[in-house]
Structure 1
Amino acid sequence: MTKTVTTRYDVAEHLRTPEEMAAYLEACLQEAKGDAAFIAKALGDIARAKGMSQVARDAGLSRESLYKALSGERSPGFDTILKVIAALGLKLHAEAAHVKSSTAQQAGSGGCNICQL
């Protein structure tokens, strides 16, 4: 019987282009559900893909403080997040959250007369 050797999956090895990095961060933002540490970890993955030393220099942070901030074990300050996003060559943007229309809410909550027959 042969042994199967496994290695730990590292997403940073698969983030090669700015577009892949942006798509990864976008997906993590959607999955995070308000978990700032999760977002910090995602930024850490992207920073490792780009090179932590270079990102730290570009963000004006020490390498050690960058590792700590993006470890996913804590939530870094918003100023740190903004510096890192800029150093990664990414942009932060906002869009309106999609809210269900009142008609759709009524239909889903028994407001539809046909559904009550």
Structure 2
Amino acid sequence: MTKTYRPVIPSQLAADLNRAFASAEPHTVCRAIGQSLKDFNVSEISKKTGLQRTSIYRAFGDEQLPNFSTVLAVLTAMGLELKVAPRFGASSGY
């Protein structure tokens, strides 16, 4: 039986992940990416990133934190980009 995936709405996907990034907690971000991957064919993500499917599942599970290049590759394969913006109300520390 072939698995059917929910249609991905890029703006909703970005909003969900931005909420996780706002936490500034790596495990929260990785869990959110892992949850979002359920709406994608991980075999296709694997082909686009050059990463093994098992590596992708492991990277965004609860066991360990992925390296930064894995995060960037998976987000790019999901049709997203990572941007940096100043956090409102935060001092720069300088």
Q: Which TM class, normalised by the smaller chain length?
A: 0.7 to 0.9
Give the % identical residues: 28
When normalised by structure 1's length, the TM-score is 0.65
Q: Which has the larger radius of gyration?
A: 1
TM-superposed deviation, 1:96: 1.1
3-state SS, counterpart of residue 16 of structure 1: coil
**Correspondence for 1:62:** 52
TM-superposed deviation, 1:92: 0.3
Which consecutive residues of structure 1, in runs of 5 or more, have no partner in the other structure?
A: 1-12, 102-117
Moved over 4 A (4+): none
Distance 1:60 1:82 in 2: 12
Does residue 20 in structure 1 map to residue 12 in structure 2?
yes
Figure out how many residues of one structure are paired with residues of the other and give that number.
87
**Correspondence for 2:77:** 87
RMSD: 2.1
Residues 28-61 of structure 1 deviation map (CA, whole Å, 9 limit, x = unaligned): 111x3x3212211111111221121111211110
Does residue 50 in structure 1 map to residue 21 in structure 2?
no
